[in-house]
Structures are given as structure tokens and as C-alpha cells.
């Protein structure tokens, strides 16, 4: 739970909102003066989605424990791997969440209970 007050939370929402709108509007607004993103910038931007998403996912699935079996036999990691296979085969958000949560509950309430 956040300890930030309403001013800080609304401030963060406003700043992120304005910045995101600026990114969306950027070239749509400037078209004519800038017709495309410079190739070098585009090279970097291309890697933003995989790098950022992986950096978001990995620490939620992998908790480094003192021993290897403890690290590997983790309910979140195993459920995440099952969901990863579904994401790879189906590219479906709904199926990925369904299988991932189902696997987590199975491990938490049945297998490791």
C-alpha cells in the first residue's frame, strides 16, 4: 500500500498522463517537419518493448533462494512457466492469465499445501 498522499498520487497520474500523451502526439503533430523517427532512434525503440516487459516479468517470477531446488521449485516460477507456454502457443492474454492463475492455485492449495 502506498504511503503517498492524494497530491502526490494525482501529481504522478498527471505527469505520466501528459508525458504519454506527448509521446503519442509527437510525430503525428510534427509530421511535415519530421517525417520519420531517425533510424538510429528507431533501432533503440525497437528493443524497448521486449526489454521492458522482460524486466517487469522476470523479478515477479524468479525469487533467488539460497539453494537451487528452492529457487526452481517456486510456485510463481512454475506457474509462470506454464503461462509462458500458453502465451507462446496462443498469444492470448485471457488464456495466459487463466492458465497462470490456475497453475498458481493448484500449486499453492494442492501440490505444495
> Cα–Cα distance between 9 and 94 in angstroms, integer?
30
Q: What angle do CA 87, 91, 94 make, to 5 degrees?
A: 80
Note whether 1 binds another protein by CB under 8 A. yes
Q: Which residues in 37-96 contact another protein (CB under 8 A)? A: 37, 41-62, 64, 76, 79-80, 83-84, 87-88, 91-94, 96
Binding mask 3-42 for another protein (x = CB under 8 A): xx-x-xxxxxxxxxx-xxx-xxxxxxxxxx-xxxx---xx
Tell me whether residue 23 or residue 69 sits nearer to another protein (CB atom).
23
Total residue count of the chain as it appears in this document: 113
Query: What residues contact 2, with CB distance under 8 A and at least 6 apart?
Result: 9
Note whether 97 binds another protein by CB under 8 A. yes
> Cα–Cα distance between 39 and 53 in angstroms, integer?
23
Identified binder of another protein from the candidate list 65, 70, 72, 101, rule CB under 8 A: 101
Amino acid at each position: 500500500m502506498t504511503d503517498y498522499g492524494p497530491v502526490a498520487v494525482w501529481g504522478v497520474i498527471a505527469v505520466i498522463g501528459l508525458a504519454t500523451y506527448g509521446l503519442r502526439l509527437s510525430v503525428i503533430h510534427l509530421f511535415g517537419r519530421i517525417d520519420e523517427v531517425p533510424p538510429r532512434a528507431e533501432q533503440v525503440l525497437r528493443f524497448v518493448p521486449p526489454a521492458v516487459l522482460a524486466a517487469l516479468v522476470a523479478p515477479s517470477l524468479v525469487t533467488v533462494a539460497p539453494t537451487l531446488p528452492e529457487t526452481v521449485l517456486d510456485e510463481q516460477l512454475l506457474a509462470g512457466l506454464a503461462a509462458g507456454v500458453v502465451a507462446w502457443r496462443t498469444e492470448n492474454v485471457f488464456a495466459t492469465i487463466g492458465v497462470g492463475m490456475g497453475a498458481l492455485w493448484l500449486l499453492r492449495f494442492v501440490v505444495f499445501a
